């Protein structure tokens, strides 16, 4: 049965297009046709003038719906997190584990494997953010969880059987040879929570690192004579940089400079979301620390920012409103860039025939009015 998404503004080829219908056949996009050419026997879904965008892909999701992945590394926990974020247009995500013991990482990897096998909507793999970080740039990560990357750690990091594995590490706390071992095993490596020199960062890139975790936050800055990890991130086209556009983590002016340095394909929106997203709770516990959510910011008792209260629809809206980016660029940062980063851009991140029908409809206020994952609709 063909489903026709009609009466919307379809984002494709870099522009919102009126008068087109997107035809879905099962889990794939079958065709994009003039609205007058919709087959008579198609089931019509009226978008009521909404923007139809590629579904958002979030590579850094610590929690949502009152669930923290570190506390609930299970299929049920992953499903609850995914359901919470789907309400905000996220159709693909990586449950993200912050620095923890190797046994917790093992359980998390097993849970993601099981979730993908069970068909939990939207799960694309896992993001293991630490514990192989620089304690000097740990942010909210617990110092006693940070450790050196050894053979046991490598075995755990390369153990996922289904989906993508993203690992955030500090390049200066390991070696290019170790990074190459991870990359050769199929792991995507991002630099983050790092005090790396520019030279150490470039050595990691040459060893196969392709990502930067939350650009500008928890990393060596760009200065006059020491470009640091930030300078490498802005300079090297191989590096796709995650950015948190919540108005709190990074100044909009600073993010605007990044947009002038790198095209949308090299910047991906991430939420770094905590359990409060999709929940009414104004606080939660993160590894024995009480985190308060106030004015859209998650902080511990010392004032350290602990992830975010951001969702992807808000990140897209902020990219347009705070950074002045066109909606096409913001959507590319929310869909195509992360798909490319994960090596999934041949089937995700665009509205095109043959691509998976992962889509989101947004009204003029950037509120989600509906979403599709593999052609399955949820929402208005």
Q: How far apart are CA 230 and CA 344, in angstroms?
A: 26
167-223 pLDDT per residue, tens? 999 999 999 999 999 999 999 999 999 999 999 999 999 999 999 999 999 999 999
Is 130 found in the same domain as 15? no
pLDDT for 379 equals 79
Instruction: Please tell me the total number of residues recorded for the chain in this structure.
Output: 380
Average model confidence (pLDDT) for the chain? 97
pLDDT for 21 equals 98
Report the CATH number at residue 28: 2.30.40.10
pLDDT for 214 equals 98
Domain membership of residue 152 (yes or no) is: yes
Residue 161's pLDDT band (cuts 50, 70, 90): very high
Is 268 found in the same domain as 361? no
pLDDT for 380 equals 59
pTM score above 0.85:
yes
Q: How far apart are CA 375 and CA 356, in angstroms?
A: 8
Is 223 found in the same domain as 131? yes
* DSSP SS3 for 316: helix
Is 18 found in the same domain as 119? no
277-292 pLDDT per residue, tens? 999 989 999 999 999 9
The side-by-side arrangement of strands in the sheet containing 2-6 is: 28-34, 20-25, 2-6, 43-46
- Among residues 367, 371, 217, 238, the alpha carbon closest in space to that of 307 is found at 217
Is 200 found in the same domain as 141? yes
Is 359 found in the same domain as 336? no
Is 175 found in the same domain as 49? no
Q: Rg for the chain (alpha carbons), in Å?
A: 20
Is 125 found in the same domain as 97? yes
How far is the CA of 326 from the CAs of 42, 43, 314, 342, in angstroms?
A: 33, 32, 15, 24
Is 279 found in the same domain as 177? yes
Domain membership of residue 253 (yes or no) is: yes
Percent of the chain at pLDDT exceeding 70: 100
Candidates 58, 272, 311, 358; catalytic one: 272
Is 181 found in the same domain as 309? yes
Number of domains into which the chain is organized: 2
Domain that holds residue 364: 2-53+353-379
Q: Is 272 a catalytic residue?
A: yes
Please answer whether residues 334 and 316 qualify as being in contact, where contact means their C-beta atoms are separated by less than 8 angstroms: yes
Which residues partner with 21 through β-bridges? 33
300-342 pLDDT per residue, tens? 999 999 999 999 999 999 999 999 999 999 999 999 999 999 9
Domain membership of residue 41 (yes or no) is: yes
pLDDT for 141 equals 95
Domain membership of residue 239 (yes or no) is: yes
Is 151 found in the same domain as 45? no
pLDDT for 295 equals 92
Domain membership of residue 348 (yes or no) is: no
**Residue 107 φ then ψ, to 5°:** -65, -40
């Amino acid at each position: 049965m063909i489903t026709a998404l009609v009466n919307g503004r379809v984002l494709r080829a870099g522009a919102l297009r009126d008068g087109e219908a997107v035809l879905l056949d099962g889990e794939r996009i079958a065709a994009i046709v003039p609205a007058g050419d919709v087959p008579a026997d198609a089931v019509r879904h009226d978008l009521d003038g909404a923007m139809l965008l590629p579904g958002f892909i979030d590579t850094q999701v610590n929690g949502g719906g009152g669930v923290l992945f570190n506390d609930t590394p299970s299929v049920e926990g992953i499903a609850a997190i995914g359901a919470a974020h789907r309400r905000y247009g996220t159709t693909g995500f990586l449950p993200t584990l912050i620095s923890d013991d190797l046994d917790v990482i093992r359980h998390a990897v097993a849970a993601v494997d099981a979730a993908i096998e069970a068909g939990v909507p939207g799960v694309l793999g896992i993001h293991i953010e630490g514990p192989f970080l620089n304690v000097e740039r740990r942010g909210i990560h617990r110092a006693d969880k940070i450790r050196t990357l050894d053979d046991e750690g490598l075995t755990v990091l390369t153990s996922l059987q289904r989906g993508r594995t993203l690992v955030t590490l500090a390049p200066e706390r390991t070696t290019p040879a170790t990074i190459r071992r991870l990359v050769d095993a199929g792991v995507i490596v991002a630099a983050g929570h790092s005090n790396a020199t520019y030279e150490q960062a470039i050595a990691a890139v040459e060893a196969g690192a392709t990502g930067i975790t939350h650009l500008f936050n928890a990393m060596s800055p760009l200065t006059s004579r020491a470009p640091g990890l930030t300078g490498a991130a802005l300079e090297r086209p191989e590096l796709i940089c995650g950015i948190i556009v919540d108005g709190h983590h990074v100044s909009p002016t600073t993010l605007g400079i990044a947009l002038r340095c790198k095209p949308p394909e090299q910047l991906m929106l991430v939420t770094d979301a905590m359990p409060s997203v999709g929940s009414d709770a104004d606080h939660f516990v993160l590894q024995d620390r009480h985190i308060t959510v106030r004015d859209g910011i998650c902080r511990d008792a010392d004032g350290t920012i602990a992830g975010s209260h951001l969702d992807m629809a808000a990140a897209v809206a902020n990219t347009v409103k705070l950074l002045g980016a066109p909606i096409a660029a913001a959507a590319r940062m929310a869909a195509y860039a992360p798909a490319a980063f994960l090596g999934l851009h041949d089937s995700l991140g665009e509205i095109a025939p043959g691509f998976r029908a992962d889509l989101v409809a947004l009204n003029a206020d950037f509120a989600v009015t509906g979403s599709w994952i593999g052609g399955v609709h949820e929402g208005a």
